[in-house]
Structure 1
Amino acid sequence: MNNFSGASIPEFIGSLMHLEYLNLSKAGFGGPIPLQIGNLSSLHYLDLRGGYMFYDQVGMYSEYYPIALHVNDLQWLSRITSLQYLDLSFANLSKASNWLREINLPPYLSVLKLSSTGLPGIPSTLQHVNFTSLTMLSLSHNAFESTIPSWLLNISNLVRLELRAGYFHGSLSNAVAMLGNLNHLKYLDFSENYITGGISQSLWKNKYLEHLDLSENQITTAEIIGNLSQLRHLALDGNQISGKIPENVRNLSHLDYLSLSYNRIIGEIPKVIGNLAHLQKLDLLCNNIAGQIPETIGNPIHLEHLLLSNNNITGQIPENTSKLCNLYSFELSNNSIGGDITRLIEGFSKRFNDKLDGRSCFQSLAFLDLNNNNFSGTIPEQLGQLSGLIHLDLSLNFFTGYLTEEHFSNLTSLDYFDLSYNSLAMIPSDGWIPSFNASYIYMTSCHLGPKFSAWLQMQTHLKSLWLDETGISGKIPSWLWYRDIFDLNNINDMRQLESLDLLMNDLSGQIPQTMLALNYFSDLNLSYNNLSGRIPSKGQFVTFNDPSIYIHNLFLCGQPLPNCSINVSPHHEEEEVDEDDFDMI
């Protein structure tokens, strides 16, 4: 990986007359693109994509886009007559007023990428289209504020067309009607524009189309008809599409991605969805879909994402769902689905040792969200076998019974769990050490008391902890965020806590001064307890100006509550650390 930290591309590079391949992408170059590059008449491949690549502190690959390369005109391109591949993405071309005329000259240009370049506009007409060899065109993320120009859709050899977030507007049916000339088109991205109206039938006759993304527009109708035998990716989310999902969807026999979320779709999920044998993602979030989930939902065995939240779905989860061994995310929140989930979870666990593509079934399940439904009964202990689970949300249901250590036995990846607003009690042993180290724990109205659960001491990555209405009593333990003033590593582990809710318990004593170590603390609720003494007046506590987060603690005082009397001591006898100690940390 190279990072030239904004250095200019040297002009002498234009003297390499026999150069055929030049790739300076993501290397951190800045400043003007040297016009001398136009001297490289033998050049076939030119990639000046901006930015540079690096690995962050935890070894994750990242990209960064510093001061961009820029150029005022592109006349030098006309001299590179052998050019076949050109990528100027993230360069600043805002002053290149004649960009289209110059780029239209190289006769063999096959790939053209000009995304995020600030192009000053796009001409609606072009006298002579010289893009006879062009197969791939990307003009995404440019603020054209234009209708889709007719010449753009008459590049007959085009295979891939990307116009994402180009501020295009107008009727889609007029533009799409011209797609009949693009007989080789396989990939079309018109997403994040201002296209209105319905989709014409001519679009659905393109027998080569594999990828179609019209998401985030203002499309009102989409008749999924015709011979789209090769279509694999269909994204129509974020539009205004109404009506039912047509039965003709079964014609899309190669489809692996279907997203219709954030529309106005009604009716039921058609049973023919189960015929889409290659389907990997089904996203129907945020519609008005009603009825029950069809039994056929378990047929597409490659399904990885089943997203049905925020609809009006009723009934129960089909038992057939447990056949989906590749499932990664299963989201059903905010529906009216009911019944007992025991058979579903047991179905998962029975298939746990089955193999598909060399993996154990349901080791891949990472997101399970059943929030805000009508589920009831107990939560089976087999839940603890879903070892890949990262996000678990069972809140706002009617679950009852006890949660033991077995429910969490193998959840080593668990980072988020919400069991709030059920009738659950958690009864692990006193010495339980969880296999997980979660960042977000929400257990509102679960029974945890009377002691403050000691296993929480092991959750050193906590960012949010809600234990309101859990029946806990006694003092707020300092070990939640602080163990030893001389062990700064322990303090730093807990400084990432951002939100703490202990509302409506029976907590007593003072607010621990050790909470001053929480530098990212932004959300607190200690109301309806029996706390006393002075509210800390340093650290993040100075930002908590809402008295409602402290109310109904009869002997609690200090800003934002009334001032303490002279007889109120700011420190309990047991307190070992005062506020001034945290000025040194």
Structure 2
Amino acid sequence: MFQYGPRFEPLEGEINPSLLGLKHLQYLDLSMNFFGGIQIPAFIGSLSQLHYLDLSCAGFSGLVPHQLGNLSRLYHLDLSNPFDLCWNKLYLVGSHWLVNLSYLQYLNLNFVDLSKAPDCLESLNTLPLISEINLSNCTFEIPLSLSHVNFTKIHVLDLSSNDIDSVVPPWLFKLSSLKSLDLSVNAFKELVPSAIGNLTSLRALNLANNRVLQGGLPLSLGNLCMLNLLDLSGNKYLHGDLNELGEVFSGCIKDSLEILSWVCSELTGQLPHWLGNLRSLKMLNLEYNSFYGPFLQLELHSLKKLDISRNALNGSVPVNLGQLYPNLEFLEFSYNNLTGVLTEAHLAGLSKLQHLALSDNEFKVDFGSQWVPPLGLNSLGMWNIKSGPGFPFWIRKLENLSAVSFSNAGISDTLPDWFWSFSKNLQIVDLLHNDIRGKLPTSFEHLSNLLFIDLSENSFEGSVPQFPANLEYLFLFSNKISGRIPEALCYLKKLLALNLSKNQLIGEIPDCWNHSLQPRLSIFDLSDNQLSGGIPTTVCSPSLAYLHLSNNNLSGELPLSLRKCRALRTLDLGQNKIHGSIPTWFAKSLLNLEVLRLRYNVLAGDIPPELGNLTNLRVIDFAYNHLSGTIPSNLGNLYALKSARTIFFNSKVGHVIYDKLSFGYYDNTEKLYMVSKNLVIGGYMDNIKVNLKGRDVQYDKLLPLLTAIDLSTNELSGEIPEHLMYLSYLQSLNLSGNHLTGRIPEKMGMLLRLESLDLSKNDISGAIPTTMIMLSFLSHLNLSYNNLSGRIPYGGQFLALPDPSIYFSNYALCGFPLNDDCEKVEKSLGVRYTKEEDDVEKIEFYVSIALGYILGFWVLWGVLLLNKKWGFAYFQFVDYLLYASEDGLWK
């Protein structure tokens, strides 16, 4: 049997029909290979003696051949195909052939498209021996009824992630032999009916992420006397307070339940006392809710994992944790409001502890240097906790430590030499944002397990060290590291992220990245150094998403090799000496580009009109170059600036991963690895510096919301294209310091979300359009050094911009905030402009605004009233925005 592991390479190519020569073949496993998207060979259906067939995640795609129905002796069939990881999607057309597999006991079709096989469950219902069915992510509707329920031996049923929006089918509650039921990630309308009490053999029930837990929990749930695992995460509980559920959990479930996960469900109130009745509980996960009040103080001697992080608990941590939870292996209470001083006495008696995370609270840690911590600790999270100023010497005793985070811990000390040798198991080292001094060692190769290292924002000195081959994340930004970038970095084949920015590195960037064969490298940031030479031609990998080389001394032209960066989302080459022109092939090759920053270079030539075809492009910064020609009207086609941007904020919902047959449990997240770094859990936190409202601003968390065009200080000519006025989601427009002529477009008032507008230092003439009164978000305006004339519009945001300098050197302008008398100015210019005409124009203008508002109001509300689905979606979206802002997801 072929196995895929660290010492094996996946099989590729085609499967030869000579396999049919193995006439007595009973066991065939081709899983975890890479057959390049070919179809499953139909001739496999001729291997009539097969008992076991596993083709999962093997790079197959397309139609599943019905000839597999000839394998009448098959008892195990696995075609699961997570296409985003493996290849393309498999699909079935019809399921009639499944009825021939009369000996089948195990079936896994996870991620196989069953939308064209609607009778799949009816076909499986005919199989007399089937005991496990996995149909997760299959895009099919579950039947509300079956003519005859024949699943007499079914033990495991997984229907998760199918977006099913019906009621839970009643026939499910007739499966009396069912031991594991997974209905998570759907949209069932009545999530937990009272008939759930009929499933008396049930040991694992996963109802996570069904959005709304309508009707609460029935009392019959408490009668599931064999239930070991219950996952209700990601559901909005109807009332939110768990205290009222004491009666449900007073049944025999209290003696059997070992795992309870209720994460990210808007639960509130104090932690309920009935939790203390769950004497068999081994794992309790209540993170990402709104519990307040004191720390959980209940005697749960069987508890091995306790996670109450990301709530609003206050008060102090109990001193008797070791007496309450003597068998704890995993303790997480980060991101709360706990106060006081945490001493070694609080952790006394927790001798079995392996994971401890107490980060981001309001208490101070005072562990003495002689403290002997639980020696079995292998992961320790203490970020955003005052632990300094001295380095915590007690961790030297943790010889098995694999993950440690002391980021933003107030440490101002020299890193001791022993730190890099006290544990050979170190995988994750996070010392971000302290004031730790010392020289980096020349090599970390002795730490062969090291996966993640972040020493950023400290005062480390020395050169870039040698790193072990398995390293995935390397963050050393904002230190005092000097010297050249070693070519050895090119050979780290598993590297996902490299950030050496804001150091003192010199010389050329090594052009050897093709030696790494890194299909995974997605972050490459060497900005803010003293690097010279050209942009490496080998820097692009198939997954490179963020390329930052700004603020160096790089020269040469933009290399043609950048065309290979097809996954690129941010390209920041600003503040260098790059010359040549902006390539037209950007628009053909970099289709995912969102941020393009080339400011402060020596680029010349026209702005390619083709850039307007990049549907994701939302930040363009070409300021301070030598670009000439006109502003392409095609930029008005930028889709990302014309429509609302959908932002997916990371709101982690904890899933309990469990073995469906043994019903054991384990935590699927290397918690410290995933939570200690926003860089890891939510994707890389990209960042750029942009000039907004006349000052440089560093954007990171809010970068996904930024929309801006800056073409300032170039040699552009012609008029401002009217097409730009259709970019209704544009926040900042800077065209200053060019040779633009003509008038300010009358439709400038259509840029309703514009916050900053700079048209200064051009040759623009004519009046300021009165429509600009509609720019209610405008807080920065500069129209100085032009040839504008007439009255400054009076009203709206113009009244909130009292600085006269924003109109300087427009000698024919008058009105607030200038002191010029409009009648005198108009008389000197020979302009006849009566008060009556002024009043009529104002009246006409405001009437048009009112009519537009009324029309827009009734168009919106009329549609919402007539179309209930749209109305529901709209209010759900508004509710989400309010929830996100209240809970700080946008901070």
TM-score, normalising length from structure 2? 0.54
Larger RCO, structures 1/2 (Cα 8 Å, 6+ apart): 1
State the AA in 2 paired with 1:383: L
| 1:409/1:15 CA distance change after superposition, 3 Å | closer
Give deviations 1:380-419, integer Å, cap 9, x for gaps: 2433442222112222222222223134431111111221
Residue of structure 2 aligned with 1:42, choices 252, 255, 263: 255
Give deviations 1:47-76, integer Å, cap 9, x for gaps: 363543xxxxxxxxxxxx4xx4323763x3
CA distance in 2 between counterparts of 1:225 and 1:153 reads 27
Q: Does 1:532 align with 2:789?
A: yes
Shift of 1:300: 1.0
Shift of 1:237: 0.2
CA distance in 1 between counterparts of 2:333 and 2:820 reads 62
State the AA in 2 paired with 1:135: E
Determine helix, strand or coil for the equivalent of 1:247.
coil
For 2:538, the equivalent position in structure 1 comes to 347
| 1:467/1:534 CA distance change after superposition, 3 Å | farther
Shift of 1:7: 7.9
Q: Does 1:86 align with 2:284?
A: yes
For 1:412, the equivalent position in structure 2 comes to 591
Q: Does 1:129 align with 2:323?
A: yes
CA distance in 2 between counterparts of 1:495 and 1:540 reads 12
Shift of 1:205: 5.7
Range moving further from structure 2, 542-551 or 439-448? 542-551
Q: Does 1:218 align with 2:410?
A: yes
* Mapping of residues 155-194 of structure 1, within 5 Å: 155-171=350-366, 174=369, 177-179=371-373, 181-183=374-376, 185-194=377-386
Number of residue pairs matched? 534
Give deviations 1:496-530, integer Å, cap 9, x for gaps: 44434334333333444555565544443333333
Q: Does 1:392 align with 2:591?
A: no
Determine helix, strand or coil for the equivalent of 1:553.
coil
Residue of structure 1 aligned with 2:270, choices 42, 61, 71: 71
| 1:130/1:5 CA distance change after superposition, 3 Å | closer
For 2:724, the equivalent position in structure 1 comes to 480
Give deviations 1:303-352, integer Å, cap 9, x for gaps: 121112222222221223454533212222222222222xx0x224xxxx
| 1:447/1:542 CA distance change after superposition, 3 Å | farther
CA distance in 2 between counterparts of 1:459 and 1:511 reads 26
| 1:15/1:382 CA distance change after superposition, 3 Å | closer
CA contact (8 A) 2:484 2:506 kept: yes
CA distance in 1 between counterparts of 2:799 and 2:758 reads 18
Range moving further from structure 2, 552-561 or 369-378? 552-561
CA distance in 1 between counterparts of 2:497 and 2:770 reads 45
CA contact (8 A) 2:607 2:629 kept: no
Q: Does 1:279 align with 2:471?
A: yes
| 1:411/1:499 CA distance change after superposition, 3 Å | farther
Residue of structure 2 aligned with 1:118, choices 313, 316, 323: 313
Determine helix, strand or coil for the equivalent of 1:403.
coil
CA contact (8 A) 1:557 1:563 kept: yes
CA contact (8 A) 2:760 2:785 kept: yes
CA distance in 1 between counterparts of 2:325 and 2:807 reads 69
For 1:262, the equivalent position in structure 2 comes to 457
Range moving further from structure 2, 302-311 or 467-476? 467-476
CA distance in 1 between counterparts of 2:771 and 2:482 reads 51
Shift of 1:217: 0.2
CA distance in 2 between counterparts of 1:256 and 1:248 reads 15
| 1:332/1:18 CA distance change after superposition, 3 Å | closer
For 1:468, the equivalent position in structure 2 comes to 712
CA contact (8 A) 1:327 1:365 kept: yes
* Mapping of residues 206-245 of structure 1, within 5 Å: 206-219=398-411, 220-223=413-416, 224-226=419-421, 228-245=423-440
For 1:372, the equivalent position in structure 2 comes to 551
CA contact (8 A) 1:532 1:556 kept: yes
CA contact (8 A) 2:264 2:288 kept: yes
Residue of structure 2 aligned with 1:146, choices 321, 341, 348: 341
Q: Does 1:28 align with 2:236?
A: yes
Give deviations 1:219-248, integer Å, cap 9, x for gaps: 234343225333221111011211111235
Determine helix, strand or coil for the equivalent of 1:319.
coil
For 1:196, the equivalent position in structure 2 comes to 388
Give deviations 1:53-112, integer Å, cap 9, x for gaps: xxxxxxxxxxxx4xx4323763x3443221212223356664447x43x2xx22211111
State the AA in 2 paired with 1:47: L
State the AA in 2 paired with 1:86: L
Shift of 1:195: 0.3
CA distance in 2 between counterparts of 1:308 and 1:288 reads 10
CA contact (8 A) 2:748 2:769 kept: no
| 1:381/1:72 CA distance change after superposition, 3 Å | closer
Determine helix, strand or coil for the equivalent of 2:488.
helix
CA distance in 2 between counterparts of 1:437 and 1:511 reads 32
CA contact (8 A) 1:475 1:510 kept: no
State the AA in 2 paired with 1:80: L
Shift of 1:261: 1.0
Determine helix, strand or coil for the equivalent of 2:726.
coil
Identity %: 30
CA contact (8 A) 2:365 2:385 kept: no
Unpaired segments ≥5 residues, structure 2: 1-208, 642-706, 729-746, 839-843, 854-891
Give deviations 1:418-471, integer Å, cap 9, x for gaps: 211222124256677544542111121223334233232222433212222122
For 1:55, the equivalent position in structure 2 comes to none
Shift of 1:188: 1.5
For 1:351, the equivalent position in structure 2 comes to none
Range moving further from structure 2, 544-553 or 231-240? 544-553
For 2:441, the equivalent position in structure 1 comes to 246
State the AA in 2 paired with 1:504: K
Give deviations 1:258-302, integer Å, cap 9, x for gaps: 1111111122222x13xx211121111222222222222212122
Determine helix, strand or coil for the equivalent of 1:330.
strand
Q: Does 1:565 align with 2:822?
A: yes
Shift of 1:45: 3.4
Range moving further from structure 2, 202-211 or 490-499? 490-499
CA distance in 1 between counterparts of 2:788 and 2:457 reads 45
| 1:304/1:279 CA distance change after superposition, 3 Å | same
* Mapping of residues 505-520 of structure 1, within 5 Å: 505-513=762-770, 515=772, 518=775, 520=777
CA contact (8 A) 2:344 2:368 kept: no
CA contact (8 A) 2:304 2:329 kept: yes
Q: Does 1:502 align with 2:759?
A: yes
CA distance in 1 between counterparts of 2:390 and 2:774 reads 57
State the AA in 1 paired with 2:280: S
The structure whose Rg is larger is 2
